[in-house]
Structure 1
């Protein structure tokens, strides 16, 4: 009995990401499942070669730098049935015409959440030891503090408040579970029973801020969350508190945060800011109580292969008649990253 030919696929992303997402072993698995030309990586759907490939494509494999999949693109792709995104958010990628056509969409956001949660876990534990502040002091004084000066340092019972039970937030809660920390959660879509299952005490946002030594932000960037940590709410965090943001800079009133940091009342671990990159004269670069990184918490380097591997796993499910493991539904986009 003859086998059906593999479905035709097209890759659409910035080509600079291709080898990271699909290193040779992952690309080999991909090419066993679909008929794809890894030499054709589309950044402009109006390009004649892209248009011709779209006409044959049943699967579109997308990533960072993929153009918007609008009505004209869909019209040029009559056989398209599935889009597999080898990155996180898909909100910029598709619109109403996509959903009206009834196409399937999958994202590697779950895989991308893993390194973000790991980075945040490390930041929480280092902040609890005051590692960032003590490093600055050690560099300046070239001497160890006296033993009595460590009274406020340590992670036993440290109060950690998470804002948002997103994919990252949930994975972080799993990583925090074995530790001797006191963890609370604010998420308007999580009830008390689910919060308990996740290993956290549910609290209203203002109460979480008042009662947390370390606050970590994991909410999506949507209209309801813009500047959710404004001047008044930042003022609720206790003196000496630490704000960690690996989500989006827009969730925090950055001017108000800079004021708190300049006063020395709070410290911060910031992997995201607004704008990105920051202007060269931003005080965030030089404040001693700020640990600033250039948006590195998400998948980088060899971690990118996990995202490509997720796409391959989704293709394996498709080609064997099983449902997608990480589908994206239109209804969920309003409250997701």
Structure 2
């Protein structure tokens, strides 16, 4: 009988309780060997270091301390880090790949609710639902009485997807439910044939901007993507277009977006902002043309169970030496695809 590898769960207590109900904790114990105390939120006390020294695989999530060189040096048997959430930035570094440690994340599973949120935002943007709902200054007298919001329609619209990431790809595929929608993708690393198979056309960002009624952002956060959508790009969008951001706040120039929305020219649905949260006096907070949600697009509540199941499936593959399906390589890391 093969010996089960020794595992340690490293995350905050709220994360542990959200990820592991009784059935999922039982499944984990069937796959790996756990200490009597299988969970920790720190790696620096003597007891935690003793467990870390035995660990062959770490299951991490929100609240896990950074795996610094010093902590990795205290884990001589470590072979894999399986992250039960999305981004591993702030948790791992290139040192893991130098040590030959495999890294996976549940970003594919976390992409599901983000893409679902984005699809809902796109549909609401077509009818300008969030903005009409808070407009207390108008008295609606029936059909045709709403003005200043553009064409309230989800038919024969054009949607621009910036970043053919795991989320961007899902959004493209989901947009097939909207009859007559044209989908354009801007991503310098995307394969035109893959984009076409998903149901969109690959174009340059500058070519895309004047054509779209909705612009949704799904690029990674990198130095070169800072303010990827800035004043110049926003100015090229048609009147009454809506900007949706569920990626990272820094991808969009907040001041430039606020200026366009204050002028009544553009609308925005933002689940992420820069900074986050926004200052109390940010103009984006008080504009009727802007809807802001508190970073809720990703997995919450029962959705977290999907992340755990994804990770336990990956753990089963790892222990049985099958190919991993969600491995993050050094190349992915360099391109920001782990974010």
TM-score w.r.t. the length of structure 1 is 0.95
User: 1:114-193 counterparts in 2 under 5 A?
Assistant: 114-137=112-135, 139-141=136-138, 143-147=140-144, 149=146, 152-180=151-179, 181-193=181-193
Contact 2:31 2:316 in 1 (8 A): yes
State the partner residue of 1:330: 330
- Counterparts of 2:166 and 2:36, CA distance in 1: 30
- Counterparts of 2:237 and 2:275, CA distance in 1: 24
- Counterparts of 1:76 and 1:250, CA distance in 2: 35
- 1:215-270 per-residue CA deviation (whole Å, 9 max, x = no partner) reads 00000001111111111111011111100000000001111111111111100000
User: Structure 1 pair 235/43, CA: closer, same or farther in 2 (3 Å)?
Assistant: same
Q: Choose 241-250 or 24-33, whichever is displaced more.
A: 24-33
User: 1:1-337 counterparts in 2 under 5 A?
Assistant: 3-37=1-35, 39-137=37-135, 139-141=136-138, 143-147=140-144, 149=146, 152-180=151-179, 181-335=181-335, 336=337, 337=339
1:177 aligned counterpart, secondary structure: helix
- Counterparts of 2:26 and 2:215, CA distance in 1: 43
- 1:92-148 per-residue CA deviation (whole Å, 9 max, x = no partner) reads 2222321111111111000011000000000000111121222123x4445444336
Cα-Cα RMSD: 1.6
Contact 2:140 2:146 in 1 (8 A): no
- Counterparts of 2:40 and 2:271, CA distance in 1: 30
- Counterparts of 2:36 and 2:240, CA distance in 1: 52
CA-CA distance at 1:89 after TM superposition: 1.2
- Counterparts of 2:138 and 2:152, CA distance in 1: 19
Q: How many residues align?
A: 334
Gapped regions of structure 2 (runs ≥ 5): none
Contact 1:164 1:186 in 2 (8 A): yes
Q: Choose 36-45 or 168-177, whichever is displaced more.
A: 36-45
